[in-house]
Amino acid sequence: MTVLEAIQKSADFLGKKGVESPRLNAESLLAHLLKMPRMKLYLNFDRALTAPETDALRELVKRRGQREPLQHIVGSTSFCGHEISVSRHALVPRPETELLAEYGWNFLVTCHSSLVTVLDFGTGTGCLAIALAAKCPNAQITALDLSPDALALAKLNALQNKVAERIGFLQSDGFAALATGTQFDLIISNPPYIPSAEIETLQPEVRDFDPRAALDGGADGLDFYRWLAAEAKPFLKPEGKIMVEFGDGQADAIKNIFENEKWIVEAVQEDYSHRARIIIARNGEI
């Protein structure tokens, strides 16, 4: 079987299994197997696969057909240009969250200080902490998560991306483990925001492979916003900001939650599809 035939056959199989963008998935799996950039496949369409390569590809395509996420199969994803290892222990970083990182670093460069401090609340793979540490050499970041397994993965990612020396890892249920008096220039978070009952309706890649603790936002999906709005202020410097991602359709409810807790909402930002997805606020009681 040639490379082109393998792509066509795999894409056909994945399409029948309900995988979105089956051709792209087939190409990505084969490129991963052959250890070449996906585009290079196009220069190798006539190359014959060896028998072991064919067997290995069949195995990868079978896993993808069972709706295991592509990122889990290849072991990593790209986030703001950084390679981030992924596993069942943490949410696969999403492209929308890159925008949150961008708002974060655009704010940090306006803090004219030799040291800026950031709390990444619910760090997961550590993607936000790593992107901010890499972009802002004067940033010291606390990456907090409830899950020790997620924190171990985040630490590994920080080491692989050579920013581990400026990231502290903290296991904590909410703000509980943060020392009283600790204050940050920026609190950034992409908390769980799926209403509990909706988790079962999500696509299998998310429902069966992202950790439940990374998805479940309580009955209406808003538990973490209530929590952040009620408890984050003492951990923010007077000029500091909080930036939080949320789900499509949650903007009005979240704006109300923050305003009721006397935050000044500076902006609600949209994602690439023009859906409101990020709230930026500061303490309105100062």
Ligand X SMILES: C[S@@+](CC[C@H](N)C(=O)[O-])C[C@H]1O[C@@H](n2cnc3c(N)ncnc32)[C@H](O)[C@@H]1O
CB of 38 to ligand X, least distance (A): 23
Q: Name which of 18, 39, 20, 38 is nearest 30 in CA terms.
A: 38
Q: Which is nearer to ligand X, 33 or 154 (CB)?
A: 154
Q: Which two tokens stand for residue 28?
A: 């990505």
Q: Which two tokens stand for residue 149?
A: 């397994």
Q: How many CB atoms lie within 10 A of CB 151?
A: 22
Q: Which two tokens stand for residue 145?
A: 């998560």
CB of 199 to ligand X, least distance (A): 12
CB of 146 to ligand X, least distance (A): 4
Q: Which is nearer to ligand X, 65 or 184 (CB)?
A: 184
Q: Which is nearer to ligand X, 146 or 152 (CB)?
A: 146
Cβ–Cβ under 8 Å, residues 162 and 136:
no
Q: Which is nearer to ligand X, 60 or 101 (CB)?
A: 101
Query: 186: exposed, middle or buried (C-beta count within 10 Å: 0-12, 13-18, 19+)?
Result: buried
Q: Which two tokens stand for residue 99?
A: 């925008």
Adjacent-strand bridge partners of 162: none
- For residue 180, give the amino acid letter: T
Q: Which is nearer to ligand X, 145 or 271 (CB)?
A: 145
CB of 53 to ligand X, least distance (A): 33
CB of 123 to ligand X, least distance (A): 5
- For residue 71, give the amino acid letter: Q
Which residues bind to ligand X, rule: CB under 6 A? 90-91, 93, 97, 122-125, 127-128, 144-147, 150, 172-174, 190-192, 213-214
CB of 176 to ligand X, least distance (A): 8
CB of 115 to ligand X, least distance (A): 23
Q: Phi/psi class of residue 115: alpha, beta or left (left: φ > 0; alpha: ψ in -120 to 50)?
A: beta
H-only helix segments in the chain: 3-16, 22-34, 51-65, 70-74, 95-108, 127-135, 148-160, 204-207, 212-215, 223-231, 251-260
List all residues 6 or more positions away from 198 whose beta carbon is below 8 Å from its beta carbon: 221
Q: Which is nearer to ligand X, 208 or 285 (CB)?
A: 208
Q: Which is nearer to ligand X, 145 or 185 (CB)?
A: 145
